Structure 1
Amino acid sequence: MTILKYTPIREIPKIRETLRATFKAGVTRPLEWRKHQLYQLARLAQNEADAICDALNKDLSKPKLEVLMAEVGAVVERATKSAEQLDAWAAPEHPDVPDWQKGWKPTLHKAPRGTALIISPWNYPFILNSQPLMGAIAAGCCAVLKPSEVSPHLSQLVTDLLPKYLDPSAYRVVNGAVSETTKLLELQWDHIFYTGNSRVARIIAAAAAKHLTPLTLELGGKSPVLVDSAYDMRLAAKRILWGKCNNAGQICVAPDYILVPRSKQDEFVEGLKEAYKTFFPDGAIGASHYGSIVNESHFNRLSSLLDRTKGERITDVFEGRKDTARKRIEPTVVKNVQDDDPLLEEELFGPILPIVPVDSLDEALAFINARPHPLVLYAFTEDPNVKQRLIDETQSGGLVFNDTFQQLAVNELPFAGVGQSGYGYQVMKYTFDTYTQLRSSIDIPKEAEPFLQLRYPPHGPEAVKALSSAVHLSIPESAPSGR
């Protein structure tokens, strides 16, 4: 039986044209209409929570509590709050200008970009479909959702449920794989929002460039964790392992590798062992609150990495057991990992935790800076000087001190990458802003004509002096910092 029904390729341009016609007709413009759609998205998440949990259990063996907390609850909360705050977000702004320009009524209007394409991944498929969608709704855009074929139960569920809750003339789902996505990318969109890996992102960016389409790319990468020698190793280990075990490490903000002082490595490992025995008294391989690897290909990829690593696997607590039938790999800790180890080649996206011992903060910073900018940099330190050096001397999409994963709970902060970890902002108002054009206007009254008279030729000495006055502004004295 086919779980996921692919959209006929010939229908895809028609779907896009339907949405474009809806946008041009002004259906999505009224704020009350947008609020209703946002509340309906919240109702979808709330009313269908059990079905969503069941679909994600079939696709990923995701524990129900994890789905309710990280996906369903987040959509209910953020869609509801977006509706409640929409009036303030969408209100025109009037920038402060010099007195002589105030009569021109300078205004920033919040205009929707148009019809968007949202391509989402398999690892958190409900929230990562819905979060970009709620921003498009809030901004007054139409949107096509392209969910991942790798999580087929959830993708089919969204396909079935969306038209029951949202206006199908404005929001549609296209299902499929490479052929269907290729057809979507041949078409012109007013914004493309992609969450996934950098390889596919390059394909999408190249396709978007043909139409000069703006992009949001959320790509992940190898997010490092730096542990300061003065920090509580057991607490750091506990918080890091918790972050790594979410969805069996299959999330873009998972701690990817740990930089720990060489003299503290064994103490840190002991902390990991204690936390593991607390989280999984009978081992993770059969635990109901631990997930599976998404498919055989990723399972084999992770298994190969563990076979090829030159590091020292910790086996007295982290046994590294596998269940091939259920595609499960227990959290696996590898210490004394060196710079050229296979575990450091690419984003792990799985429950493997390499530990890289370093001899100084300078060495740790150099290690981080020698690699592409990560989506998030984690650091466990209470030293304000260390924190400031991380702020000043590294680059990352986000910076989190003394915990992992929890930054996703802060609705008021933007979520974004930098460099190879992506670009563009999301979450709440930042997602609204992504789909919004700041359209400026001025309205110069007839009464301003005497003031404007100087601009008209021919220009006498007085007019030249007035019109070029900015050239002669006094520039303050300055010197390079530190002199």
Structure 2
Amino acid sequence: MSEDNSAESLLSHALVRQRAAFESDPFPTLSQRRDRLDRIARLLKEREQEICAAVSRDFGHRSLHETTMLEIVPLMSALRHTRSHLKHWMKPERRGRSLEFLQLSNWVQYQPLGVIGIMVPWNYPVFLALGPLIDILAAGNRAIIKPSELVPQTSALLTRLIAEYFAPNEVTVIEGGVDVAAAFSALPFDHLIFTGSTAVGKKVMAAAAANLTPVTLELGGKSPTIIAPEYDHASAARDIVFGKLMNAGQTCIAPDYVLVERSRMDRLVEALVTEIKRCYPRQTSATQYTGIVGERGHERLLGGLQECHDRGVRVVSADIALPQTGFSIAPTLVIDPPVDCRLMEDEIFGPILPIIPYDTLDDAIAFIRARPRPLALYLFTGNSEIERKVLAGTISGNVTINGTLLHVAQNDLPFGGVGPSGIGAYHGLDGFKRFSHARGTTKVRIFNPARLAMPPYGRLTEFLAKVMGRG
């Protein structure tokens, strides 16, 4: 049997096994769901050091502190939030009724969907595997996880840990390369969530469409940052550096480029370089700055920088000590690059930040609106009128004002894209609903009003039509 056929057989068997288990217990109790959430929490607490070490090996180097703060901590926060609210979420949700249907009761019950597939990217291989899993298990489902082949150490560890903490008919992990991912996306799941690039997202959606499998696509794009004319550029620089250089810019919601008033552009560049050196002093940067995953990604970023050099663009690199293992690129600012260069057309996904000058705030808004709708937007302003203007004039998946990345850590906010940056949103209550079927129910309590409209038709029917069809 070929490796591909073996993988497809393994995938099919896993789906059949989980679907059979779901059919035998389609409505897990609150205690069952909490138990599954608690097992994720135990996994994270008991195996945190192993997880951090595996991720660091896959990245060439990633600080244990960074993995803890970016992956473990937000997962524990989401678990606390979900566990404390789950009882309320599971209750039937009462809905209203119009005057002519006062004899009825209406409610919505959120039911589990069944078996859900999770396709995980390489940049946050733990957070983006277990984050969706929290919502999926809270909603009463079962899950099959396909981790990225680009982080083999983490994927192998995740496979082993999930098998230790969960039965195969609850949660299982299937490893493999591109061919396995293609077969995975073609399975008849009850829902499929994919996190990754827009290009691959299109292929996943096309494969899922053959089975009418509903999808949640968390993609990416070029998330812009606007610094309003009145905002302190040094303060903005501190938050921009944090958002851009966490995980060496390999974050789907990292600031992709900064729009700043033309007269303040040089001062912002100076402030950004100063802040980079403050965050990554030479004596510690080699151990706290994250590497680039894979030679292909490294070469792609270098190619983008080389194009800017060749076209005479001003490029400013911060002089920090880089990790001694794997692939790395120093934090780099690209000043006013041409809009048709590679760094301005494609999502950067690395520690390179274009700085784009604008003359008026309207110009900055128009620049954003002329491009595909991004996954995130960042605005720095203390002016409420500017805030309203930018929010009303742009469309994005989410927004953080006077900071970066913070929206993704808010458990009570939906997280997701719009248009080419994604389909659907999850996290917290929105994730519970995303991975549930909202079944609406109507109950006749005393008298069925439909009997007044039954044939034979006459004056009563005409009267009811007039009353019920009123404007």
Report the TM range for the smaller structure's normalisation. over 0.9
Asked if the contact 1:38–1:80 (Cα under 8 Å) also holds between the matched residues in 2, the reply is no
Paired position in structure 2 for 1:378? 378
Residues 193-238 of structure 1, C-alpha deviation per residue, up to 9 Å, x if partnerless? 0000011111111111111111100001100111112110111111
Do structure 1's residue 9 and structure 2's residue 8 form an aligned pair?
yes
Instruction: Report % sequence identity.
Output: 34
Paired position in structure 2 for 1:478? none
Paired position in structure 2 for 1:50? 49
Paired position in structure 1 for 2:22? 23
- After superposition, residues 352-367 of structure 1 pair within 5 angstroms as 352-367=352-367
Q: Which moved more, 1:366-375 or 1:398-407?
A: 398-407
Residues 301-356 of structure 1, C-alpha deviation per residue, up to 9 Å, x if partnerless? 000100001320125xx248877962011100111223223310100000001111
CA apart distance, 1:463: 2.1
Paired position in structure 2 for 1:462? 460
Do structure 1's residue 88 and structure 2's residue 84 form an aligned pair?
no
Asked if the contact 1:7–1:180 (Cα under 8 Å) also holds between the matched residues in 2, the reply is no
CA apart distance, 1:457: 0.9
Asked if the contact 1:7–1:176 (Cα under 8 Å) also holds between the matched residues in 2, the reply is no
TM-score (norm 2): 0.94
Unaligned 5+ runs, structure 2: none
Instruction: Give the Cα separation in 2 of the matches to 1:54 and 1:320.
Output: 23
Instruction: Give the Cα separation in 2 of the matches to 1:279 and 1:98.
Output: 59
- After superposition, residues 278-427 of structure 1 pair within 5 angstroms as 278-282=278-282, 287-309=286-308, 310=311, 311-315=313-317, 318-319=318-319, 326-427=326-427
Asked if the contact 1:42–1:77 (Cα under 8 Å) also holds between the matched residues in 2, the reply is no
Residues 123-156 of structure 1, C-alpha deviation per residue, up to 9 Å, x if partnerless? 0010100011111100111110001111111111
CA apart distance, 1:283: 7.5
CA apart distance, 1:27: 5.8
CA apart distance, 1:268: 0.5
Paired position in structure 2 for 1:149? 149
Letter in 2 for 1:464: E
CA apart distance, 1:396: 0.4
Paired position in structure 1 for 2:271? 271
- Three-state SS of the structure 2 residue aligned to 1:44 is helix
Paired position in structure 2 for 1:63? 63
Letter in 2 for 1:312: R
Residues 27-64 of structure 1, C-alpha deviation per residue, up to 9 Å, x if partnerless? 65222111100011111011100000000110112211
- Three-state SS of the structure 2 residue aligned to 1:188 is coil
CA apart distance, 1:102: 4.5
Paired position in structure 2 for 1:249? 249
Residues 368-396 of structure 1, C-alpha deviation per residue, up to 9 Å, x if partnerless? 11100000111111111211111111110
Go from structure 1 to structure 2 and tell me whether the alpha carbon gap of 1:87 and 1:364 turns closer, same or farther (over 3 Å shift).
Answer: same
Letter in 2 for 1:55: A
- Three-state SS of the structure 2 residue aligned to 1:314 is strand
TM-score (norm 1): 0.92
Asked if the contact 1:238–1:275 (Cα under 8 Å) also holds between the matched residues in 2, the reply is yes
Q: Which moved more, 1:380-389 or 1:26-35?
A: 26-35
Instruction: Give the Cα separation in 1 of the matches to 2:252 and 2:366.
Output: 23
Letter in 2 for 1:139: A
Unaligned 5+ runs, structure 1: 1-5, 474-483
Instruction: Give the Cα separation in 2 of the matches to 1:463 and 1:158.
Output: 64
Go from structure 1 to structure 2 and tell me whether the alpha carbon gap of 1:183 and 1:452 turns closer, same or farther (over 3 Å shift).
Answer: closer
Go from structure 1 to structure 2 and tell me whether the alpha carbon gap of 1:421 and 1:437 turns closer, same or farther (over 3 Å shift).
Answer: same
Asked if the contact 2:55–2:154 (Cα under 8 Å) also holds between the matched residues in 1, the reply is yes
Asked if the contact 1:333–1:355 (Cα under 8 Å) also holds between the matched residues in 2, the reply is yes
Q: Which moved more, 1:367-376 or 1:331-340?
A: 331-340
Paired position in structure 1 for 2:122? 122
Instruction: Give the Cα separation in 2 of the matches to 1:322 and 1:343.
Output: 22
Instruction: Give the Cα separation in 1 of the matches to 2:169 and 2:140.
Output: 13
Letter in 2 for 1:280: Y
Go from structure 1 to structure 2 and tell me whether the alpha carbon gap of 1:218 and 1:283 turns closer, same or farther (over 3 Å shift).
Answer: farther
* Runs of 4 or more above 4 Å deviation: 319-325
